């Protein structure tokens, strides 16, 4: 009889829990360590906004939501895709529903019941949870923790998360640890985050907290549609999150806002037919331009001498941005362990050590793609570790 193999999973977010689930179901001894007192803290934070588990989109569109390499994501989703996530939740007794946006949520819109049942399953499969274990040093067959404990294992799976919301445990401190081992890690950066705008002080009380609905935002030729929220420091909202990767590449980030995307410039001018002055005031009524848009247009581009001039600005309102909001408060992080340093999610520099989840260099928009990516890479990393152990 072959000896029982030991797999050590470090990091108890969705990627690590999923890796532990696969590894323990294959009969391996699994130890899961996390530096916090409990696992799944960011997962619970995600639960506060309903826990968008995945998206109902078909595969072809789904896979394109992830940053490169596409061939990897095709394989990862082959192993664990949105339908698998829905079935997996159902097996844990958590029914899901698909909203009209395509986003999939648990019917309870909560993360805690799912996490509780998931942990119960892992315990039943024999996973040995060791909390308050902060990884300090790593080698191919062993990990040393800050409390002095050294754990040896036949394979190690790291699922240490990104760098946002460090209070949940994902503090990104592992970056220096892996770099010391010669592993290339792309700098962690805010993803799915707001962007700052140097609003004039006097404008802030008038615009703060106002939504700009139904707007098309363009950065470097890439478009995103949806709703923006004006904040004291800048802009939040789906379109600006989606453009994060493009904006980060621009030396002087700026967006162009189409504040009336369903009308052409000509149509807007035609609607102003008899107006001879006070074009902005007229636009508020005739174009149904909201108050915050009027305030911004007036401040940055007014006064307007003709309907044509105003229509042109409304269709392409230029707004310079200063920087992304700090990583601490972003929903996720870009950057992480580079693809070049991996072979099938195994670190080339540390054979027998695999990585999963947000700590790898990928990003995706909100919409359930992040958790789906973590569950898929957790699955794949565990399968790669098991394949190596059995070969
Ligand atoms: C406000 C918010 C809302 C979100 N909502 C959604 C959503 O609705 N849908 C969606 O798809 N995604 C959402 N996300 C993103 C999603 O939660 C993350 O992408 C996901 O949790 C990442 O999983 P992970 O397993 O890779 O890492 P994490 O969940 O970050 O877990 C990493 C774990 O590693 C541990 N760790 C780190 N360093 C060490 C160390 N040195 N030693 C030991 N342990 C360590 C941490 O304590 C942590 O438990 C949201 C994120 C935020 C912040």
Where residue 274 falls among pLDDT bands split at 50, 70, 90? Answer: confident
- Cα of 356 vs centre of ligand 1, distance in Å, is 11
Atom of ligand 1 nearest to the CA of 136: 41
Determine if ligand 1 sits within 6 Å of the CB of residue 161.
yes
- Cα of 71 vs centre of ligand 1, distance in Å, is 24
Tell me which residue of 8, 10, 4 sits closest to 26, measured CA to CA.
Answer: 4
Return the pLDDT at 91. 98
DSSP string, 22-81: HHHHTT-EEEEE-SSSSS-HHHHHHHTTT---EE---HHHHHTTSPSPHHHHHHHHHHS-
Return the pLDDT at 68. 80
Q: What is the pLDDT of residues 24-41, one digit of tens each?
A: 999 999 999 999 999 999
pTM of the complete model: 0.94
- Cα of 382 vs centre of ligand 1, distance in Å, is 18
Where residue 2 falls among pLDDT bands split at 50, 70, 90? Answer: low
**Would the pLDDT of 145 be above 80?**
yes
- Mean pLDDT (the chain, rounded): 96
Where residue 15 falls among pLDDT bands split at 50, 70, 90? Answer: very high
Least confident of 98-107, 118-127, 142-151, 300-309: 300-309
Q: Which residue among 8, 13, 43, 380 is best mutated to probe the pocket of ligand 1, counting the most ligand atoms within 8 A of its Cβ?
A: 13
Where residue 302 falls among pLDDT bands split at 50, 70, 90? Answer: confident
Determine if ligand 1 sits within 6 Å of the CB of residue 82.
no
- Cα of 316 vs centre of ligand 1, distance in Å, is 37
Return the pLDDT at 213. 95
Q: What is the pLDDT of residues 104-123, one digit of tens each?
A: 999 999 999 999 999 999 99
Determine if ligand 1 sits within 6 Å of the CB of residue 15.
yes
Return the pLDDT at 80. 98
Return the pLDDT at 222. 96
Could you give the angle at which helices 369-390 and 70-79 cross, rounded to 10 degrees?
80
Share of the chain above pLDDT 70, in %: 99
Determine if ligand 1 sits within 6 Å of the CB of residue 370.
yes
Q: What is the mean pLDDT of residues 169-183?
A: 97
- Cα of 292 vs centre of ligand 1, distance in Å, is 35
Farthest-apart Cα atoms in the chain, separation:
91
Determine if ligand 1 sits within 6 Å of the CB of residue 43.
yes
Where residue 194 falls among pLDDT bands split at 50, 70, 90? Answer: very high
Local structure of 314: helix, strand or coil: helix
**Would the pLDDT of 74 be above 80?**
yes
- The C-alpha atoms of residue 205 and residue 105 are separated, in whole angstroms, by 36
Domains of the chain: 6-190+331-390 (3.50.50.60), 195-320 (no CATH)
Q: What is the pLDDT of residues 328-381, one digit of tens each?
A: 999 999 999 999 999 999 999 999 999 999 999 999 999 999 999 999 999 999
Is the CB of residue 304 less than 8 Å from the CB of residue 318? no
Return the pLDDT at 356. 98
**Would the pLDDT of 1 be above 60?**
no
Q: Which residue among 47, 161, 327 is best mutated to probe the pocket of ligand 1, counting the most ligand atoms within 8 A of its Cβ?
A: 161
Return the pLDDT at 273. 86
Determine if ligand 1 sits within 6 Å of the CB of residue 17.
no
- Cα of 56 vs centre of ligand 1, distance in Å, is 22
- The C-alpha atoms of residue 273 and residue 33 are separated, in whole angstroms, by 69
- The C-alpha atoms of residue 16 and residue 8 are separated, in whole angstroms, by 10
Say how many Å lie between the first and final Cα of the chain, rounded: 16
Determine if ligand 1 sits within 6 Å of the CB of residue 165.
yes
Is the CB of residue 335 less than 8 Å from the CB of residue 377? no
Atom of ligand 1 nearest to the CA of 134: 42
- Cα of 42 vs centre of ligand 1, distance in Å, is 5
Atom of ligand 1 nearest to the CA of 371: 11
Q: What is the pLDDT of residues 211-253, one digit of tens each?
A: 999 999 999 999 999 999 999 999 999 999 999 999 999 999 9
Phi/psi at 218 (nearest 5 deg)?
-125, 135
- Cα of 315 vs centre of ligand 1, distance in Å, is 38
Q: Between the CA of residue 160 and those of 12, 121, 175, 335, 357, what are the distances in Å?
A: 8, 21, 10, 13, 8
- Cα of 170 vs centre of ligand 1, distance in Å, is 6
Atom of ligand 1 nearest to the CA of 358: 26
């Amino acid at each position: 009889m072959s000896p029982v193999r030991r797999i050590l999973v470090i990091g108890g977010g969705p990627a690590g829990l999923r890796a532990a689930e696969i590894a323990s179901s294959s009969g391996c001894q699994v130890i899961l360590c996390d530096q916090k007192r409990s696992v799944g803290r960011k997962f619970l934070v995600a639960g506060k906004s309903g826990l968008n588990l995945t998206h109902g989109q078909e595969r072809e569109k789904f896979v394109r939501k992830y940053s490169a390499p596409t061939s990897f994501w095709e394989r990862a989703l082959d192993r664990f895709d949105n339908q698998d996530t829905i079935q997996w939740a159902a097996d844990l007794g958590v029914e899901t529903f698909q909203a009209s946006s395509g986003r999939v949520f648990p019917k309870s819109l909560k993360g805690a019941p799912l996490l509780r049942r998931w942990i119960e399953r892992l315990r039943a499969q024999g996973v040995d949870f060791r909390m308050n274990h902060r990884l300090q040093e790593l080698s191919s067959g062993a990990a040393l923790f800050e409390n002095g404990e050294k754990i040896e294992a036949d394979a190690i799976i790291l699922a240490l998360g990104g760098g946002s919301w460090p209070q949940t445990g994902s503090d990104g401190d592992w970056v220096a640890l892996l770099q010391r081992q010669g592993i290339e890690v792309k700098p962690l950066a805010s993803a799915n985050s707001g962007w700052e705008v140097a609003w004039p002080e006097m404008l802030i009380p008038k615009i703060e907290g106002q939504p700009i609905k139904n707007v098309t935002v363009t950065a470097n030729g890439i478009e995103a549609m949806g709703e923006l929220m004006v904040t004291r420091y800048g802009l939040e909202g789906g379109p600006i999150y989606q453009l994060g990767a493009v904006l980060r590449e621009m030396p002087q980030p700026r967006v162009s806002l189409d504040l009336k995307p369903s009308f052409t410039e000509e149509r807007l001018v035609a609607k102003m037919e008899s107006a001879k002055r006070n074009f902005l005031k007229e636009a508020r009524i005739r174009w149904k331009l909201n108050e915050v848009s009027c305030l911004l247009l007036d401040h940055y581009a007014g006064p307007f001498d003709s309907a044509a001039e105003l229509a042109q600005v409304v269709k392409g309102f230029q707004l310079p941005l200063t920087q992304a909001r700090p990583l601490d408060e972003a929903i996720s992080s870009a950057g992480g362990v580079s693809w070049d340093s991996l072979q099938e999610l195994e670190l080339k520099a540390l054979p027998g050590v695999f990585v999963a989840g947000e700590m790898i260099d990928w990003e995706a928009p909100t919409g359930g793609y992040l958790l789906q990516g973590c569950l898929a890479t957790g699955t794949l990393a565990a399968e790669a570790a098991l394949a190596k152990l059995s070969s």
